[in-house]
Structure formats: C-alpha cells, structure tokens
Amino acid sequence: MNARVLDPCCGSRMMWFDKQNQLALFGDIRDEKHTLCDGRVLKVEPDLLMDFRSMPFDDGAFKLVVFDPPHLKRAGVDSWMRAKYGMLTSDWKQDLQDGFRECFRVLEDYGTLIFKWNETQVPVRDVLELAGQRPLFGHKSGRREKTHWITFMKEGDGHA
C-alpha cells in the first residue's frame, strides 16, 4: 500500500482538491450513484468498501486520517442530503466512538487526525466527548459556522 492518507468516509470526495490523489486511500461503506434534483450526478465510488468502525489496516499504517463521518440523524429517504452525506445509525454514539478508536489505531504515533463535523443536528461538544482524546485546535466554517474542522495528534508510545 502506497497511501499515506486515509479518508475512511470519503463520500463523493467533496472536500478534496485532487479527488484522485495517489497519497490517499478513499474508503466508504457505500458505493452508489444518485441523480440530484438539478440533474447533477453524485458518485460515491471508494477505492475500498469499508466500515470506519472496523478498518482492515494494520496499527500505525497512516500518517494522516481525515474523518468526516455522516452527521445526520434525520433526512428524507430519497433526499439529496441523505445521498450526499449519508446517515447516522440509531447507535450513532457507539459508531462514532468506534470510528475515533479505529482512526487513532491506524494512525502512526504523532500522526494527525483531521475531523470534520457539521452540528446542524448533533452539537460538536456531544461528538468530541466520544473521541477519547482532546483536540489540538479547530476552526468553524460555513455560512452559519456549523461546520467544524478539528485537529488531533495521536500521542506516541502506543497511546491513543
């Protein structure tokens, strides 16, 4: 594996400048295409079908992990929001806790985790409690500043 960066919930790779970046491995639990109401096609085409709660990688395999999990608890069955962002399960707290654990596990010591969260339906403070580690710093973005970009560094010596 040549990838140094993991995006385990890549969706349609919306945040990526280079959607085919060779340094990155793009994973997702979905592989699907949707035609949006304006005629655009939304493609979720990961390099690897995977579940962020249980990743098929060795410990310490990546230098950088970008974790942008689904953030919606409610959305219409055929809505573009569901197609674009995916959905949380009813056990979303455990899912996200497992996701953070796995992200830190596959990071090398002192590796970086970039976490993206939109708090329209779930406040970011409720999600950060699940991370198991304090973030270094973060930034709010978007028209209503509901999207948070948060940076963690995995501690060394096997601590997560």
The pLDDT of residue 8 is: 98
Sign of the four-CA dihedral 98, 99, 103, 106: positive
Q: The tokens of 67 are what?
A: 């974790």
The pLDDT of residue 128 is: 96
The pLDDT of residue 159 is: 54
DSSP reduced 3-state for 118:
strand
pTM of the shown model? 0.91
HSE-up (13 A, CA, CB side) for residue 64:
11
The pLDDT of residue 160 is: 54
Q: The tokens of 140 are what?
A: 């709010």
Output the average pLDDT for the chain.
Answer: 92
Instruction: Kindly tell me if the per-residue pLDDT of 107 is higher than 90.
Output: yes
Q: The tokens of 18 are what?
A: 């280079």
Nearest alpha-carbon partner for 93 in 125, 115, 50: 125
Q: What's domain 5-153's superfamily in CATH?
A: Vaccinia Virus protein VP39 (3.40.50.150)
